[in-house]
């Protein structure tokens, strides 16, 4: 599943970008500081600030933190900004799938600007059918 968006004020799902009071400027979601919160709300955007996800990525630790964030902000979509990220370990892929299968309320997972290598892995594993791949304009 792929979509494009370059419309200011909206995200690839067509929803309004969260209001300024809902925006958070890259706060770390966990103690290691790797995964950052870009914005929260019904559509919550997380990212890695352009850094590759290390292979020792602790999926269970992140799953709990993301689940808490989703519940706190009543998110129905979690988007991961992969701009500049070239490698995603298998634990991260498993985490993405697990978010779509959360018991209390499955959520939609979007991947913003995945690299060609990441797209290839998602295609081979057929995860591109479960996750929405989006090309978005990055301002700045």
User: For position 48, what pLDDT does the model report?
Assistant: 86
Percent of the chain with pLDDT over 90: 36
Rounded CA separation 77/58 (Å): 22
Rounded CA separation 10/27 (Å): 22
* Count: domains in the chain: 1
Which tens digits make up the pLDDT trace of 11-37? 444 444 444 334 445 666 667 778 888
Check which CATH number belongs to the domain holding 17 and give it.
3.30.750.24
Residue that wins the pLDDT comparison between 139 and 13: 139
Question: How wide is the angle at C-alpha 80 spanned by C-alphas 78 and 86, nearest 5°?
Answer: 160
The model's confidence at residue 134, banded by pLDDT at 50, 70 and 90, is: very high
């Amino acid at each position: 599943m792929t979509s494009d968006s370059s419309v200011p004020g909206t995200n690839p799902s067509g929803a309004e970008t969260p209001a300024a009071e809902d925006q958070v400027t890259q706060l770390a979601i966990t103690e290691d500081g790797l995964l950052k919160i870009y914005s929260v709300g019904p559509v919550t955007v997380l990212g890695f600030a352009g850094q590759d996800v290390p292979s020792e990525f602790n999926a269970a630790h992140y799953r709990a933190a993301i689940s808490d964030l989703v519940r706190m902000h009543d998110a129905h979509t979690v988007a991961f900004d992969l701009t500049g990220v070239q490698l995603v370990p298998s634990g991260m892929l498993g985490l993405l799938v697990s978010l779509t299968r959360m018991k209390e309320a499955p959520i939609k997972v979007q991947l913003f600007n995945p690299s060609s290598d990441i797209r290839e892995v998602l295609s081979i594993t057929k995860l591109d059918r479960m996750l929405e791949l989006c090309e978005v304009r990055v301002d700045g």
